[in-house]
Amino acid sequence: MAVARFTVTSPLDVAEAFDRVVDLTNTPEWDRGISNPRQLTGSEPGLGARYEVTVTGFDGQPTTMVYEILEFERPNRMVMRGENSDVVALDVLVFASSADGCELDYDARLDLVSPSEGLTDEVLQKIFDKVASVPREGLASFLAA
C-alpha cells in the first residue's frame, strides 16, 4: 500500500472549488497523468457516478481505470474508488472554508491487486510520491482562480 496526503489552499469559496474538482471530466486540467475521461453512469457528478479514465501505468504505457463516487456530500466531501486489473485507488477529498477561501485536504491510497515481482511497498510508495506530486501542483493552479 502507498499513501499520499496533501492540502491545497484556494481563494475560491468551498462550493465553487468542490464543484470544479468533483466533475471528473475536468481531471486532465489538474492532473496531466490522466486523459480521456468520460462519465459512464449518471449525468453529472454525484453518488454512484462512474467514470473511465486513461492513466499511465507502472510500465509507462496507457491503461484504463474506472472510478466510482462512493460518498458525495456537497460541498464538503467526496470519496472515490478507482480500479483496474493492477491497482485499487481510494481518494478522499475534504473541502473546508477558510478565511481566504477554502482548503482541500486530499488523501489518496493505492493498493496492488496482486503481488508484483520487484514491486515492494517501499518501491510503490516512491512511485506514488512522484505520481501524487502532479495533482497536488495541478490542483494548486486549477483552484487558484
pLDDT at 28: 95
pLDDT at 3: 96
Range of the domain at 40: 2-142
pLDDT at 60: 78
Residue range 78-98, pLDDT digits in tens: 999 999 988 899 999 999 999
Where residue 51 sits, what CATH number does that domain have?
3.30.530.20
Task: For the chain, list residues with pLDDT below 50.
Answer: none
Number of domain units in the chain: 1
Q: Which residues pair with 95 in a beta bridge?
A: 104
pLDDT at 63: 93
Q: What is the pTM of this model?
A: 0.92
Indicate the pairing of strand 2-10 with strand 87-98.
Answer: unpaired
